[in-house]
Copies of this chain bind each other. A is one copy, B any other.
Amino acid sequence: MSGFGLDHLPYGVFSYLGDAPRVGVRFGDAVLDLAAATGRPELATSSLNAFLALGPEVWSETRAQARRLLEDGTQTIPLADVVLHLPVEVADYVDFYASEHHATNVGRIFRPDGDALLPNWKHLPVGYHGRAGTVVPSGTPVVRPSGQRNGGTFGASTRLDIEAELGFVVGVGSRLGTPVPYDSFADHVFGIVGLNDWSARDIQAWEYVPLGPFLGKSFATSISHWVTPLEALDVAWVDLPGQDPEPLAYLGPGATRGLDIEVEIEVGGEVVSRPSYRDMYWSPAQMLAHLTVNGASLRTGDLYGSGTISGPAEDQRGSLLEIGWGDESAFLSDGDEVVLRYSAPGTGGGRITLGEVVGRIEPARE
């Protein structure tokens, strides 16, 4: 498959012939067994965390080593023969709300007579903590959740939705009480994953005041099997559209670099939208600075999501709530398979294909 050449080399965790899970690198339609090829113990584990904790120099050396091994013709294992696992043991999971187009669309749908954006939205990247324990790898079936909706009636959600996002994986932690400045982004963040923040809109609407989304989101969050290191995205950085008012100093006026990542959303075999990460308002570095400005520490394995990626056009919306815009039939049916695909410019001149995120809806359990 194209998009997984030597300029990409994303990391994942795989097992083969019933062996213990270990760290591998994807190359084409195959996996390099990096644990076996290097003999390094931090790669012979069931998550990337031990490797991620070692920091940017080791990340860079390891990437060069993987590339050399592949150039030297080291044998790989066909992708079809391995089992892929959750790549990261997630420490804390935070989800932001960083697309102005998404926040505006949602505001217009839910508050047609009010201001589309709430007063704080352009001052800080709004975010909240999600459930780390229900972050699952691509391919995990998603059981339609039940719960309280519509004024307190019980039942299976009838407004099951997706949110197409990017996820940022923290490698190097930080000390409690010490904020991480926006220009330290690359000292802490290892790479990115595709992310689908499954959302039950009816459960969420009833529960979310005043403490925010809870059960409407906590039943599953899917991420890609493959983590693309920031080094593979060197030529993908672009200026985001701009921020007005200028953000406070800790949010780094000038820290508004985003990624030129195209997203494709397929539902039930049909592409329904093509948002672009270029159109986001808040940048990844700003989200990290905000997350820690109060002194909150980072840990290896922390994951933060961008929030739904929506662009200005109708065919660039990142959730079915927006795509359907009031049409209840737009939400997910049992059996629907959702595929999120992502691509970015690679250093080799073409585009690299980030890890996809797949999930099929199973009926609610009785």
Contacts and interface: CB of A to CB of B under 8 A. Distances in A.
B212 A151 contact: no
B215 A213 contact: no
Interface string A94-129: 100100000000000000000000111001101111
Interface in A127-155: 127-134, 136, 140, 143, 145-148, 151-152, 154
Interface SS of A by simple majority: loop
B127 A211 contact: yes
A282 B179 CA distance: 36
A212 B203 CA distance: 15
A1 interface: no
A269 interface: no
Contact of A154 (B119, B130, B249, B295): B249
A57 B237 CA distance: 55
A95 to B, nearest CB: 8
Given A127-B214, A133-B91, A293 B248 contact: no
A296 interface: yes
B293 A133 contact: no
Most buried by B among A123, A128, A208, A220: A128
Interface residues of A, number: 62
A143 B365 contact: no
Contacts of A17: none
A177 interface: yes
A130 B133 contact: no
A128 B126 contact: no
A365 B295 contact: yes
A176 B142 CA distance: 10
Given A133-B299, A134-B296, A296-B215, A206 B146 contact: no
A211 B212 contact: yes
A234 to B, nearest CB: 29
A294 interface: yes
Contacts of A143: 176-177, 295
Given A152-B123, A152-B248, A212-B211, A128 B131 contact: no
A43 B110 CA distance: 52
A178 interface: yes
A364 to B, nearest CB: 9
Contacts of A130: 129
Contacts of A218: 129, 294, 296
10 contacts: A91-B133, A128-B214, A129-B214, A133-B296, A133-B297, A145-B294, A146-B295, A200-B294, A215-B294, A295-B365
Given A92-B132, A92-B133, A133-B302, 8 more contacts: A94-B214, A120-B207, A128-B213, A133-B298, A134-B297, A208-B210, A208-B212, A212-B213
